[in-house]
Amino acid sequence: MQLDSSISLPSRVRGILDRVRSVVDERLVAAIDRVLDETEQQLFRNAEHARSNAEQQSWFDALRELRRGRADVAPRLLVALEGALVRRPLPAEAVAPPRATGPRGGFDLVDPDELEIRLILEDGAARAEIRHHELLFALGHRFAVLWAAPPLSPAQLPVGPAGLNEAFAAAIAELRLQPAAMQTLLRIYERVVLQSLGALLEAVNAILVDAGVLRHFSGYEGRRREAEVAASADDPTAPVADRAPAAPGDASRPQRSPIAGATPAAARPAWTPEDQQRFDALRESLGRLRAMRSGAGAEAEPASVRPEDLQTVLSHLQAIPNPAQIVGGRRVPQSVAHIRQAMVEQLAQTLPPGTTPVLRADDEDVLDLMEVFLGTLQQDLKPDPATEQVMSRLQVPLVRLALVDRTFFTRPEHPARRLLNAIADASASWLEDDPEGRRMLERLGAIGDRLTNEFQHGVSLFEELLGDLTAHLQQSQRRAEAAERRHVEAAKGRERLALARRTVDAAIASRLAAAAPDDLLRTTLEQAWADVLALTLLRHGPDGEPYRRRLAVVDELLAARRIGSIGATQARALREELESGLALVGYPLGDIRQIMERLLGGIDGAADPDEALALAMKLRARARLGESRVIDPAGGDWGRPAGPEEQPWVDRIRELPIGTWFAPGSGDGPRLKLAWRSEALDLVLLVNRRATSAEERGVAQLARDLARGGLRIVLASPAPPVERVFQRILARAKASGEGAFHA
């Protein structure tokens, strides 16, 4: 099947997309048929195991609806995919997650079925992106070539998990399935289609490669940077690491082959004048460290250490466990200074007696910079034994890498720097004593294991570990964002209920002010019937006929109580309306009948006053609609207005952007994020980093916490942790003068 000929496309692009469309159609039609077959079988099994006739009938109804509409699902899916294939991709920030909803059966403050359906699609796409990230990365670059666009993210790819989800959601939109059946269908779709998406992505990549689209492209972006440039071995302006070493004093000695653990020059980025300028600026901070070591070993004959010998010794140190050091009876983590000491001791054992190993000036610079850099970084990281252990294990591989690739110090996009930033993010945000924290700790431990056991040279291992950790962090972030959305949706529902209750309370209060009802009637109207009116108002609005009809019940009851009688027809109509309304908000049938008997009987004085009083007390003790969750802005500390010293904080809170973070003033405790703000109720919703907990606070209450120092606003830093460390090194060196900075 070919693309629509009316769509204007370059002939070569059309030919490629026709082939892609053909293989996608062939594979997806079979997969969708399997999805629908398995869904039918599962719906039938659900009906067989139903606990009631009504539940069984519901599953059979869903089965009939699926059989009725299944013939249209695959064609709709293919039409949606064709449109996505020929449509120029939207910018990444404009891509919205796919939505698929079943019919909404009635009103709910936060529709859990719709939210669950949305999350099934989003979580399935996230898992598929992590599982097939390398194929999606390559496909994103190849589709970008077809469209002459920047590289596409997985969410922008028409055949990526998110794109397939969007097409499938459009294909099943006409199926009138109950939410439980829709969720069953989507879970089977994820298992059959998304979990086995790799074969389809490989086939599409193969088509594009065969058509000559980035034929030799593979791996992460950094791998391409390594192969792009080569430094001349004879270029005097290139860094020392880019020149093959020769024995001291032997200029005629032929160059050695690259040593184990060194990076071939052709596999490293070129050293630019900008790199040299940045590196020189960093070296200005090393004067004091160099001065402290000047004269070291002056009593012995110096022996220059060749770079390959230095790498050999470091490779041996890398294989040795690096426990914490004991200094002054106190446990301290291993540092670059300890590594330097061990390295010099091992080098000395290979030299003749009376000689002392002396590192070349460039290597000294690298070690000094790494000592300052890693020491400062560890001070900035969250004090945690697990993070300390991981960082300790990374030190030798990082030192080995920096000795042969000084762009580590000069380029923020360097894979090793990005990996350190990701580790710092994981340490600051995700290492808590819960299952998610333990999974993250295992991930960080695995990074230390692999670098210790596998690192030899280059950045490819750093890139691979960066990709794995980034994918894991993104998955954790998506889970946190989904949980945060649930909290926000729930808070919005509570806000709507609070505002509806406020409207209803005002309407009832104005009517009661002009009447003199007995205690039972007043309690019924202010408690039970107010809940009925609030729910009706939310469903149908203030102009809806059900709300006006139930509000009229208040007038009729008060009028009947005022005249002391009620007609049989009117009593019957009131009874029906009261029974249906009270049942709507969860009153049991026995309680409803008791209320009817006492309420309507009391109009003409026939009810027992003691029984009526007991019933009124029972109604007051009953939980109101959503009482445990409904916001009460007038209650507790929220009800106290802000004082003069707190008002500036109130004004600032009202202007803070959503997403602002607050930290405990003492520094201990979790950070809280401003997830939502209610202008109508003057309150905010705060969630923790993972959105596993949420709390609502009045704006005045939050202002008091800020004014008293219990909380502080965290100003977002534009730079990642590693970049902040280098900025601090440069700033201190500039402020103190050359040679005045010391970690």
- Interatomic CA distance for residues 604 and 58, integer angstroms: 47
Please state, in angstroms and rounded to a whole number, the distance separating the CA atoms of residues 611 and 613.
5
Task: Give the pLDDT score at 703.
Answer: 92
pLDDT of residue 649: 92
Would you say the C-alpha torsion 361, 362, 364, 369 has a positive or negative sign?
Answer: positive
Cα 252 from Cα 686, distance rounded (Å): 70
Cα separation, 164 vs 170, in Å, equals 10
pLDDT of residue 96: 45
Start-end of H helices in 49-160: 53-69, 73-86, 112-131, 133-147
- At residue 647's C-alpha, the angle toward residues 644 and 648, to 5°, is 115
Nearest to 121 by CA among 129, 133, 109: 129
pLDDT of residue 530: 93
Measuring CA to CA, which residue among 55, 20, 54, 60 is closest to residue 40?
60
463 within 8 A of 223, measured Cβ to Cβ: yes
pLDDT at residue number 330: 57
Of 363, 361, 378, nearest in space to 308 by CA: 363
Query: What values do phi and psi take at 667, rounded to 5?
Result: 90, -15
- CB-based contacts of 393, cutoff 8 Å, min separation 6: 322, 448, 449, 451, 452
pLDDT of residue 327: 53
pTM strictly above 0.85: no
Residue closest to 205 by CA, chosen among 171, 253, 258, 157:
157
Cβ contacts of 274 within 8 Å, gap of 6 or more: 410
CA 372, CA 287: separation in Å to the nearest integer?
12
CB 455 within 8 Å of CB 394: no
**What is the chain's alpha carbon radius of gyration, rounded to the nearest angstrom?**
35
Could you give the CA distance from residue 491 to residue 5 in angstroms, rounded to a whole number? Answer: 50
Identify the CA nearest to 399 among candidates 469, 470, 322.
322
Residue 569, classified by CB atoms within 10 Å of its CB into exposed (0-12), middle (13-18) or buried (19+), is: exposed
Q: Let me know: does 189 contact 70? Beta carbons within 8 Å.
A: no
Neighbours of 100 (CB within 10 A): 23
pLDDT along the chain (743 residues), means of 10: 58 85 88 92 89 88 91 90 76 45 42 73 82 84 83 86 90 89 91 87 89 70 36 34 35 33 49 82 64 48 78 86 56 77 84 80 88 85 72 90 91 91 81 70 85 87 90 85 91 91 93 86 91 92 93 90 83 89 88 83 64 84 68 50 84 92 79 91 89 87 90 79 84 57 38
CB hemisphere CA count around 369 (13 angstroms): 26
- Cβ contacts of 352 within 8 Å, gap of 6 or more: none
Sequence-distant (6+) residues with CB within 8 A of 640 are: 700, 701
Round to the nearest angstrom and report the end-to-end CA distance of the chain. Answer: 67
Amino acid type, 712: R
Task: State how far the Cα of 127 lies from the Cα of 490, in Å rounded to an integer.
Answer: 26
Strand pairing category for 672-678 and 683-687: antiparallel
Going from the C-alpha of 526 to that of each of 355, 529, 546, the distances in angstroms are 95, 6, 19
Amino acid at 439: R
